[in-house]
Structure 1
Amino acid sequence: MNNFARIKPLFKFNRVAYYSVCLEDNETTLYQEFVEKHTIENKDKLYHIQKWLQLIGEKYGAQNRFFRNEAKFADTSALPPIGKDQKPYYVEFGKKKANNLRLYCLKASPNVVFLFNGDIKTKQKAQECLNVRKHFNLANTLTKAIDNAFREKDIIWNEDCTLISCSKDFILYY
């Protein structure tokens, strides 16, 4: 395990707190990299995902039905939810469309979600898509490391399991 990351809080809504990670000595989180890349070239698709983050965070909490399972036996999931008829839906050229932009994430609890990175998915399976495969694989690796840090009590829950904490110098090895 030569690679490391640091956990960074992103934003908190009424029902969900979102976190991400900074790899190595980078100050930019994986989620920030995702937003920066897609703000111009896929801004409507990005906005659709951000509306879901807000809706999940404010109204529903991180329920399984909002997260798509991208592979069997993977704890990593993705946004947006499956289906073009869920509100808010993505509209392209005046028609409801399925959004093929993927944001990989870890739903740690109904109140805590880690946001990683993603891209435009062009194949049925994430492992077969040249765009998302590296993001999907990294998200799975980070998910396993975060799950292990919870088991080892390097990351701990607050009393009502709505937030997490770890020491300021905590390093997540993956």
Structure 2
Amino acid sequence: MNGIVRLKHIADYQKVSYYSVILDKDEEPIETADSIFEHFVKQQTIDNPEKLNHILSWLAEIGNKYGAQDRYFRNEQNEGEAMGLPPYAMGRPPVFTEDGETAPNNLRLYCHRMNQNVVVLFNGSIKTEAQAQECPNVKTHFLLANQLTNIIDQAFQEKDIKWIDEDTDIDYDNDMILYY
């Protein structure tokens, strides 16, 4: 797969800034292009709105209350540093309920936890197998997320992306283009 990767700012909370990436070959202006996270939200709003709301609630909870600590992300890396949401503990608020009972949420959102203050959000889907690489729904999202974490980490090493404000946010050129 060859293409262009550009970072896009998604939202700032009290403790976390969220970003995503735009994958395109046309270099559409960043203001009008949808990130892969925004595609995820649009699709899951139609397909799985309750499960999506649970994940969005976790993003807000992590962003405002906890910071992006490891324990709030699923460790599902594979040759990269991609992690998943929602967290493992299904009894910890915000909880997902089905038929009035607390239940596991099998919708996955893959992301890259850069540190406690910055997270890059990718895409995901309904996970139906124990291993993401074996699930026909999430496999491509999972593998791409791991590939993108490596590309982003390389951009940090090459100083295309830099930490600012004591590592509480990142700085990059809006026209920065990375290739995958």
TM-score bracket for this pair, using the shorter chain length? over 0.9
- Per mean C-alpha deviation after superposition, the further-off stretch among 69-78 and 26-35 is 69-78
Runs of 4+ in 1 over 6 A off after TM superposition: none
**Is 2:11 aligned against 1:11?**
yes
**Aligned twin of 2:120:** 114
- State TM-score, norm by structure 1: 0.96
Superposition pairs for residues 115-134 of structure 1, below 5 Å?
115-134=121-140
**Aligned twin of 1:67:** 73
**Aligned twin of 1:30:** 36
Q: Contact 1:156/1:165 (CA < 8 Å) preserved in 2?
A: yes
- State TM-score, norm by structure 2: 0.93
- Change beyond 3 A, Cα 1:107–1:153: same
Unaligned 5+ runs, structure 1: none
Superposition pairs for residues 74-85 of structure 1, below 5 Å?
74-85=80-91
**Aligned twin of 2:2:** 2
> C-alpha distance in 2, partners of 1:10/1:139?
17
Secondary structure at the counterpart of residue 114 of structure 2 = strand
Code of the aligned partner of 2:6:
R
Secondary structure at the counterpart of residue 136 of structure 2 = coil
Query: What is the aligned residue count?
Result: 174
**Is 2:179 aligned against 1:140?**
no
Q: Contact 2:85/2:108 (CA < 8 Å) preserved in 1?
A: yes
CA RMSD of aligned residues (A): 1.3
- Per mean C-alpha deviation after superposition, the further-off stretch among 154-163 and 55-64 is 154-163
- Per mean C-alpha deviation after superposition, the further-off stretch among 20-29 and 145-154 is 20-29
> C-alpha distance in 2, partners of 1:74/1:173?
16
